Amino acid sequence: MVESLARRVLIALSQRPWWVAVLTLALALPALLVHLGWQPLLVDEPIRALVALEMHYSGRFFSPTLLGLPYYNKPPLFNWLLIILFRLTGRQDEWVLRLPTIAALLLYTTALWRVLRPQLGSRLAFTVALAFATTGRVLFYDSFLGLIDLWHAGLTWLGFMAVWYLGQRQQWVR
């Protein structure tokens, strides 16, 4: 009974590969969001939160501070995203602090699929993107902490891909 049901599901999914993407996204979103605010702030998360909160309350969005002293160790994009979420949700807690990381994971995974699809085909590109999103470090560390790492990695990778893409077409200056 169970084997025949599983076999029918696998046959149906192989005939409609886009259902795999829909099913993956439908299962991934609740899995990523359900315990997002459960743990206390860890590692560098308090620093990210404090810098964003100081920018939020002081109104100085281009001169970040940490405990009142200038803080230029990280670019301000992540802080700006946090400030937007603070204002949209009216909350300043762990869940809101970690939400941009989930957005970065989804955007990076989508970008991987979109960039690799013309070279590898839709199925293999989806498999590569899914493999990236479910690696141990990304799934259990990077996606559950409010850190800048996924944003930085994704934007850097997109920059490299832009250089590669334009280089393939001999369009060095655009």
123-152 residue pLDDT tens:
889 889 999 998 888 888 888 888 999 999
- Residues 125 and 104: their CA atoms lie apart, in Å, by 18
Considering the entire predicted model, what is its pTM? Answer: 0.83
For residues 116 and 128, the answer to whether their CB atoms sit within 8 Å is yes
The dihedral through the CA atoms of 35, 40, 45, 50 has a sign that is positive
- Residues 56 and 54: their CA atoms lie apart, in Å, by 5
Tokens standing for residue 131? 């493999």
Q: Band of the pLDDT at 2, cuts 50, 70, 90?
A: low
52-85 residue pLDDT tens:
999 999 999 999 999 999 999 998 999 999 999 9
Tell how far CA 86 is from the center of its chain. Answer: 18
Q: Band of the pLDDT at 13, cuts 50, 70, 90?
A: low
Q: Band of the pLDDT at 7, cuts 50, 70, 90?
A: confident
Q: Compute the mean pLDDT over every residue in the chain, rounded to the nearest whole number.
A: 88
- Residues 4 and 18: their CA atoms lie apart, in Å, by 22
Q: Where are the domains of the chain?
A: 17-168
Range in 1-15, 23-37, 140-154 with the lowest mean pLDDT: 1-15
For the purposes of burial, counting CB atoms within 10 Å of the CB of 117, is it exposed (0-12), middle (13-18) or buried (19 or more)? middle
